[in-house]
Structure 1
Amino acid sequence: MVNHYEWNTADYLQILTPNDLRFIDGRIKTHGSGNTGWSQIAAGSAVSVLPGTIISHVNPSVSGYLNCDGTEVSRSTYSNLFAVMPNASSAVTMTIASPCEVTWPGNELTTGNQIQFSITGALPTGITAGDRYFVRVLSGGSTFHLFATLAEAMNLSSVAGRIDTSGTQSPTHTATTYFYGNGDGSTTFNLPNLLGLVPRGIGQTAGFPTNNPTIGIGEFTQDQLQSFDLEFLNGGSSTGQQLSGPAYGINGSTLVDASGPRYYRLDGSSEKFSRITSDGTHGTPRVGYETRGKSLGVYFLIKT
């Protein structure tokens, strides 16, 4: 535990701890006992940054780090980083159908993860061994559809790019995923892509009995507004008449016509809910393409 910091006239920072470390001439030094025998802590010791550690920085080019931008990089050049990239492999089954459904028992994949297949027999027509596909997980979690691109897999309102299969196949195949991207599947892998994103802890927080979603390794999530109901007063056909209706979130069920959502009065007539206005106290509401808090742009870098 650090007791205090002290600047000495010799122009070094002395940190008084149980092991007594000193930052001297730009280097961390230590000693065994007493105040003699100071020696520099060797590179590769316990103070070294582990491969895969992600930091924020004001500069995208820092020695020993790469920008977290989803780029494919060499497995051999960055072997220390590749060795710690999370991955999984399992025997899977797939249907010959339109669309093809793949089942991975105990599946850890989430929508947007990348996957490849290897075989000892034959894959159905439409699937090529070694090619990269992107998954869209179906309800239940262990079954998913395959898509040609990440954008297509993430567009939940469309089936464009979904893979169909035909012909014959061997009964079981092996699927492999690197949760941040397989690269070309043999010589490269993908770095995590944090461009424009906020990192979030993997798993599920204890202590929240409801409204407590979990997030998987390398899972992309869209911005989202928690669903709720609105009740408000409106002039309508009689002064002060109450209207109510749902606020619609992603994949929500909506009442829509050509002019947009409508909220229905208790008497069955409708009134368009057209805009958000100030409450007179907190200023003009800020609206845009996403729901977000205040933020400041920095670079996320990963240790190689």
Structure 2
Amino acid sequence: MYVVTLFGNSLLLFIILTEQSLHEPMYLFMSMLVAADLLLSTTTVPKMLAIFWFRAGEISFAACLTQMFFIHVSFMAESAILLAMAFDRYVAICDPLRYTILLTKSVIGKMGLAVVTRSFCTIFPLVFLVKRLNFCRTNLLPHNYCDYMAMARLACDDITVHVWYGVAVAIFIISLDAVLIAVSYGLILRAVFRLPSKDARLKALHTCSSHVCVILMFYVSSVFSSLAHQFRNIIPGYIVNLLANFYVLIPPMLNPIVYGVTTKEVLKRVINVFYRCWSRSSMPS
């Protein structure tokens, strides 16, 4: 899964960055999502493999904090990027005449900077909150990566502040992103079904299909993981771990496949890359 994730996301990022014709808002946001997926996978999976293959089940506190920070930063960034992509599709379908005016490269760059800034400013306080805790009981994490609440629950101190901070982030940031995405697609559907031609409606819906698949994979996997943590007292630990691993493994692996299959422009460039590689390898020396 990690090899597929690295290869698929790296190939997609390479194609978007090198193909001048793909330097459009939709594909630039796609490249941001790919970068977040690569960060999430590279932060978590190598340590998982070390645990499974070499029984390297130890990690220093500083390394665990670092892993926790990048896991949650990439998660926050993906949520914000999906919202930006929903806005991109809204403008493209509901206000196409102003698409190039509203979504210039400068605006996209500022949106990317806002994504990074929001993610950093939201997650950085967690590092200080965890560093202030006293750990006097077990130091065994119940997961194969360093999750914020899993670390906080190992402490001997009162973690009420940590719980409420996590709830506030979930409600005011992640849930707000999901609501705004739903509103965007509600407006998109209203605009699509007002189109006079069936072919135009199908074409408009097709442009959103890949994004909808990615949104569902991201939010469904994260919701199931969160629910498993909430009911960890009645759900077997291996089920909780399996669901917790879903959102760091499945979306990063499947996202480039979804975009490659459902986006005609990307699929054509991928085929061209493989064709050029095959042509060079089959040329006589």
Q: Which structure's residues are more often helix, by fraction?
A: 2
TM-score w.r.t. length of structure 1: 0.19
Higher-Rg structure is 1
TM-score w.r.t. length of structure 2: 0.20
